[in-house]
Structure 1
Amino acid sequence: MQDIGGLLFRRLTNELDIHGQIALDSWLSQQDPMSRQFFENCADWDQLQSALQVMYSFDEKAALADLQKKIDFGVRSDIPVVEIAQRRHKYKFYWTAAAVLMAVIGTAVFYTLNKGKTNIASLPVKERYHNDVNPGGDKAVLELADGKKIILDNVRNGELAQQGAVSVVKSDSGQLVYKVGKSRSEGFGLISEIKYNTIATPKGGKYQVILPDGSKVWLNAASSLRFPIAFAGNERLVELIGQAYFQVEKDKSKPFRVKVSSLDGTAGSTQVEVLGTEFDLMAYADEDHQTTTLLGGNVAMISGGQKVIASANQQVALNKQTSSLSLIMNPDVDEIVAWKNGLFQFHNASIQSIMRQAARWYDIEVDYSGEVKQQFSGTVPRQVNLSTLLQILEATGWVHFRIDGKKVTVFLK
């Protein structure tokens, strides 16, 4: 089936090519007259709002329900409706996707209805978005034990290097895979000294690596992981800068430990110990807290003589100002690991928090003109261009943005 939602989205953003127009016209010709007229009227944001006014006279529930029926959401039916809300205000802005989520996440188009108002929230002037920024992707650099560096996003699939008994392979799916000898025991026996590799993602990058023990690691943007090419000895120790999601292979005889390092590569005072589990570890230098969030198993977070043990659906947070550890029950796991699933997801988040995520993913600098005090909640695919994310935030009526090269300025509306 054609990605009809994606075609509608590209028409709204003036990015629909001739082939897409033909596909969209073909799909429209198969619809009933009322549906066809509705979608033909939705050629820009204002017409989308007008169509809803005519058809439903602002019966919001009916509009949302019917529009969702008219478009096949297919893959992710749990995402299409997004609420943007301010904690201290009664107004609510209701968004619905006007596009099918394509592939795993896809591209979404949202419209806004503000209770008590008859006009859609003002949208950005095109001139402020002519320097659009593409989203990030699979980008990373691998540094081998001998100092050689391999740019992973450009290199071919297959074996990249041989380090003693350990081969480094880029799989057909783009993962970095470490294979130790003909068997793990043989490989470990042939390791005469511990050698380390480092994989680093830039801003606008992400990557997945399968470690020598079979543990899987997803690296977020602006992050790095240093690890031995084979886990000899009585522990599995790696060092992290930034953020990563770990899916650790169980080995009770050899605990898995993550040491949080600073940006200059020196080891920090925080360490996470696990036996076998899934968890997200966020340790960006520009965030107020370091957090370890458990999805399964148990971990212990150790810092400054403190030790806190967490179980599934719990989080351990390190307050950088007070250097204290705290255990948080039932954190919003979906929001925390949204980045791994290809989403921006935020709940009662400040614009500063949202823009820090955007800065890392789009490789931009952010400046502020005025103080935005409102808090935002919503879900947006990370595959969209920067301008789409900013338009969604702007439609709340609280902020304006300007893109100037790699610099984004946030204005109080």
Structure 2
Amino acid sequence: MVLSLSYRRPQRVDTIESRRCDDYISDNEKEDLSLRSGRSGASTGVPDALAFDKIINGGTCPPMTIRDFMNYLIYIEHSAENLQFFLWYREYVQRFKEASTSDILLAPEWTQAQENEVIAKLHKAAADKRKKEPKAAEIFKGTDFEKRVETVIESKDPFSTPPRTAGSHDNDTPSVFSGNSSNATSCRSQAQNAFNAAGANQPFSIQPFREEIDRVVATYIADDAPRQLNLSSREQKVVLQALAYTTHPSAFRTVARSIENTLRTQAHRNFIRWSICNGNPARVWFARGLGVGTIVLATVLAVILALSRVRRGWRALAAIGWVLGIATLIAAYKGMCVVLHGLHHRHIRPWELFVEDDGESRAKTSFDSFGSSNSYEEEPWIVKYEKRNIVRKVFDREVWIQEPALRQIQDTIFIQSMICALLGAGVLTAVFVAVPGGRLF
């Protein structure tokens, strides 16, 4: 069974194009967007069987499990911290609800009114700062320093999201997960520095889960944290003000909503699109070349037959090559190899080829909420995979695709490719059969 023939795979969503949930839309729109992003359908190219919630809750098979999703975010999209924070927050909300009543009373809820008040203060501070900055530009107006001053002013926008390269933190960054006193003290110190930088008061240490919140700040929120979330300056200050007041899950309201929105509307769709590809880049380029070569050979055959004295019907033989070549080329354009698809196989990912003790350790660390950075540049498989020659990469090890919904998508794309190939080959065949024979030999 296949999907509708009008099916289109998910469009790639770039980080730049993804709207920041809290900066540009109202609260009602945020809730509506979160609800709509959780639904799948033909409009997004994601079937219900591969919905975000289904993957997160373990309702899918390889290569569409939450572990595969995490590996994609680590090695391909370089934003695994979003999923790691999301999983931690979801668990934290549950644990907070199960805490004793006396503990909960020490951590009051962070209300929307309090958050709006903090945002208003930040807006006012930013407006006052902008009023002072143009004076510097006026002083240097008409001089060589004018453009430099403008650049400096623009770069100081407190509402801009600072760029952060993936894997910018070293692998030797100490893990804040360890429960020993030295690490706990280090986390507390980093959290205090973050609160001071945001202009927040130091929190009460007697609140429930305060030590864990310090670890969260040191791991995800503070500047230069090993898994620093890609938050705007305003988002970072708001959440730090909230965490200085309480350890209630509502303190993460804005950040959690923004991270979940990014995972649902960007990372999830990109993961589905990427998973549709059943071959590695070398195999896909090989398939494209094979498709183009088959089309060229079929065209040469048709030209030779048209210039010869053979009957017109023999020219239709080229249609076989055109169908195979066009179908292969279209499928390869969408990242699929028709040979692998015929077996419902996929290439094993590079980081899966060399599964050793270190690979198992990475798998465990990636689901550790307070582990070290997600940098993987020093992992042994990178050097090993680069040493493999191109032929070996083209014919790499394969594994069966277990997820039925993914096979269904690939079947649909293959049928679409065959239909386009038949139409294209039919037009070319009609043209070559209709032209007069050359009778040159």
The TM-score with structure 1 as length reference comes to 0.22
Work out which structure has the larger RCO, using CA pairs closer than 8 Å and 6 or more positions apart in sequence. 2
Larger strand percent: 1
Larger radius of gyration: 2
The TM-score with structure 2 as length reference comes to 0.21
Larger helix percent: 2
